[in-house]
Amino acid sequence: MELSDLLSQLNAKAFGQSKWIAKCPAHEDRRPSLTISEGDDGRILLHCFAGCGIDAITASLGIEVHELFPKALVGSRPSRSPFTPRDVLKVLSFEATVVLVAARTMRNGKTLSPEDAARLSTAVGRISEGLEVAA
């Protein structure tokens, strides 16, 4: 929700810099006791000096609490890696085996086929990525 829409919906009056005051929709408010301001990250901050909670205020406005947040912030909670450390270790263990097989092949004086050399590169790449994936 845009701050300007909220301000007009509440018929808010400006006081001070980037601060507004309005009658709280969540209680019988004779004198305006709801302050509205904007957080540094763009979220709309509401505070009722009579003590109404944010849930009661937004419910009275017919909006959800998350609508007070700028769209970019909604759903931007730090996402967890879909891989557990155990998943990563399983992959690393397998890739280490690929490296071992390649090393044995070369120790026996054989040349890696182009396919095996490519697979070795993939293994090294996955091992390097393991740390980032698990982080």
CB of 130 to Zn ion, least distance (A): 53
Whole-angstrom distance, CA of residue 82 vs CA of residue 89:
14
Cβ distance to Zn ion smaller for residue 28 or 41: 28
C-alpha atoms less than 13 angstroms from C-alpha of 32 in its C-beta half-sphere: 14
Q: Note the residues at the interface with Zn ion (CB under 5 A).
A: 24, 26-27, 48, 50, 52
Nearer residue to Zn ion within complex by CB, 68 or 92: 68
DSSP secondary structure letters along 11-49: T-EE-STTEEEE--TTS--SS--EEEEE-TTSPEEEEET
Nearest distance in Å: CB 38, Zn ion: 19
Nearer to Zn ion, 10 or 26 (CB): 26
